[in-house]
Amino acid sequence: MSGETPSDPTAYIAELDVLVAGVDEAGRGPLAGPVVAAAVILDVLHPITGLADSKTLSEARRDELAGQIRIHASAWALGMASVEEIDRLNILQATLLAMQRAVQGLAMTPALVLVDGNCAPRLSCPVRTVVRGDATVKAISAASILAKVARDAMLRDLDRQYPGYGFSRHKGYPTVEHLRALEGLGPSAVHRTSFAPVRRLIGK
């Protein structure tokens, strides 16, 4: 089942004695690299202070919180969709696939999955979407942090494999630096050919 939560996304959760997993992704907008999703089931006996939308946190704070989440969460898992899958399926479907893989990778089966945004993957358990959930639901905030930290690490690795593009700095997003590097070097094997700035260069 799927559907958008009410204005208070935690209102109905308190009434349910269930394992709730939060799910979020990182990397929908970049021109290069995979899209990464995370699923997190928090442990109510080990609360983590400072969980928030990963975009509002410094890199150092994200790294610190990611370490706490890995240690104290009841369960967590990452899922990824490759550049090839993004180009073949489109970015939305690839993102949903990454989310599905993250949930399936959990060591515990959640009774309810809360997904940031307004689109949810097909899952065997109940799932609800929460617009701005990364800022309002702690389990989704935790997932956003894990996904962002994991993807940033992947892009730093890609920077070493494909020097010159600046992946470690812009993480694949279409910054001025990245677009200039694309013009000068042409697309690499990890650029998304279905995205317009990359597709235009291939056309040339």
pLDDT by residue (tens digit) across 112-124? 999 999 999 999 9
User: Using CA atoms, how far apart are residues 113 and 2, in angstroms rounded to an integer?
Assistant: 10
Q: Is residue 141 part of a domain?
A: yes
Contact 181, 158 (CB under 8 A): no
DSSP codes joined into one string, 133-181:
HHHH-HHHHHHHHHHHHHHHHHHHHHHHHSTTS-HHHHTT---HHHHHH
- Boundaries of domain holding 38: 13-154
Find, among 71, 57, 49, the residue nearest to 26 by Cα.
57
Angle at the Cα of 115 from the Cα atoms of 112 and 118, rounded to 5 degrees: 125
* CATH number of the domain bearing residue 135: 3.30.420.10
For 17, the token pair is 């004695």
Q: Which residues of the chain have pLDDT under 70?
A: 1-17, 204
The predicted pLDDT at position 11 comes to 44
The predicted pLDDT at position 1 comes to 40
Q: Is residue 149 part of a domain?
A: yes
The predicted pLDDT at position 143 comes to 98
The predicted pLDDT at position 171 comes to 98
pLDDT in tens, 38-54: 999 999 999 999 999 99
The predicted pLDDT at position 203 comes to 72
Q: Is residue 185 part of a domain?
A: no
Q: Is residue 169 part of a domain?
A: no
Please state the domain count of the chain.
Answer: 1
Q: Is residue 175 part of a domain?
A: no
The predicted pLDDT at position 15 comes to 38
Q: Tokens 């000068």 sit at which residue?
A: 184
Find, among 96, 121, 129, 137, the residue nearest to 4 by Cα.
129
For 82, the token pair is 């490759």
Q: Is residue 20 part of a domain?
A: yes
Judge if pTM exceeds 0.75: yes
Q: Is residue 167 part of a domain?
A: no
The predicted pLDDT at position 204 comes to 64
Would you call 44 exposed, middle or buried from its count of C-beta atoms within 10 A (0-12, 13-18, 19+)?
exposed
Q: Is residue 178 part of a domain?
A: no
Percent of the chain with pLDDT over 90: 89
